[in-house]
Amino acid sequence: MPNPLQIGIVVFPKVTQLDFTGPLQVFSSLPGATVHLIWKRIEPVPSDGVLTVMPTTTFADCPQLDVICVPGGAGTDEMVVDEDVLEFLRTQARGAKYVTSVCTGSLVLGAAGLLRGYKATTHWTAMDYLAPYGAEPVKTRVCVDRNRLTGGGVTAGIDFALTLVSHLADRETAEMIQLRLEYNPAPPFSAGSPDTAPPEVIDRLRQINPSGQARRRANNERAAVALRIRA
């Protein structure tokens, strides 16, 4: 009997829950897959909402993964300068078949030096931070470049996970999971992208949490400098 496929999702304080619960639902439906939720310690990890997550394994105890996935959220502002997280990703990436992310999780991959020379995507508000990590930003829902798969913002995690399943197994398996989840989106508004959202909605969103935006900018600039020094 073949060994189970090992899929790991890193969870961290202030992770956006939908960034990882969407892919988690997809991966958990993949026959023969074992899914791990990974953090430094086995302790409750608060998301950016009311949900608290209990990791299933630690960095130290995690097996070699076939797939390593980093979700996004406000917590990535700290993860891009967290050397424990970055070293864990570098170590796992050496043996992983696929190195992946959802939303601003791609910035953490970038800070670890894992997107240099690769095309990648992220949340639309964070696109400008990819290039300083040596990545080529691509404005798309799911970006596939060799064994790097990156998803756009939040809900794109489901699209990303289904795409990855089609690579890990086949298209029919991915379609069966999609059907099981009845993933057939028909949003009530056309405001899900800056290309279609009303300008006043975009402006209003940009004005929310300016201190958080400043922290993201500062930490990613710091991480990009550290990566250049490391190189």
103 is a catalytic site residue: yes
Among residues 25, 22, 21, 41, the alpha carbon closest in space to that of 33 is found at 25
Which entry of 62, 69, 103, 143 is annotated as an active-site residue?
103
DSSP output for the chain: -PPPEEEEEE--TTB-HHHHHHHHHHHHTSTTEEEEEEESSSS-EEBSSS-EE--SEETTTPPPPSEEEE--STTHHHHTT-HHHHHHHHHHHHH-SEEEEETTHHHHHHHTT-STT-EE---GGGGGGTGGGT-EE--SSEEEETTEEEE-STTHHHHHHHHHHHHHS-HHHHHHHHHHTT-----SSS-SSTTTS-HHHHHHHHTS-HHHHHHHHHHHHHHHHHHHHH-
Q: Which residues are catalytic?
A: 103
